[in-house]
Amino acid sequence: MTTEELNNLTADLVIDARGTACPGPLLAAKKAIGEIESGEIMEILSADEGTKHDIPRWCDKIGHEYLGFTDLDSYTRLFLKKA
């Protein structure tokens, strides 16, 4: 998805993992995914560089649809759609 499309998305659940470093954001995503329904959108906020690589791979492995990320000043917003 383009940055504009991502910015226009309203996530069904936002996980703020900015205070934690690897493996924090990945674990937070895994823990929270159970709280949304299939087809819903989850947004993860992370200040950890590794997360940009971790989340797409995680989505790939589990079967969720990775939608993309947008970079802000001090953190990144990552979006995925639950399988």
If the CB atoms of residues 26 and 67 are measured against other proteins, the closer one turns out to be 26
**What's the min distance (Å) between Cβ of 46 and other proteins?**
10
Q: Interface mask (CB under 8 A) for other proteins, residues 4-43, using x and -?
A: ---------------xxxxxx-xx-xx-------------
Q: Which residues are catalytic?
A: 22
Measured CA to CA in angstroms, residue 38 lies from 19, 43, 55 at distances of: 27, 14, 17
Q: Is 25 exposed, middle or buried (0-12, 13-18, 19+ CB in 10 A)?
A: buried
Give the tokens for residue 73.
Answer: 């000043």
**What's the min distance (Å) between Cβ of 22 and other proteins?**
7
Beta bridge partners of 46: 76
Q: Interface with other proteins by CB under 8 A: which residues?
A: 19-24, 26-27, 29-30, 54, 57-58, 61-62
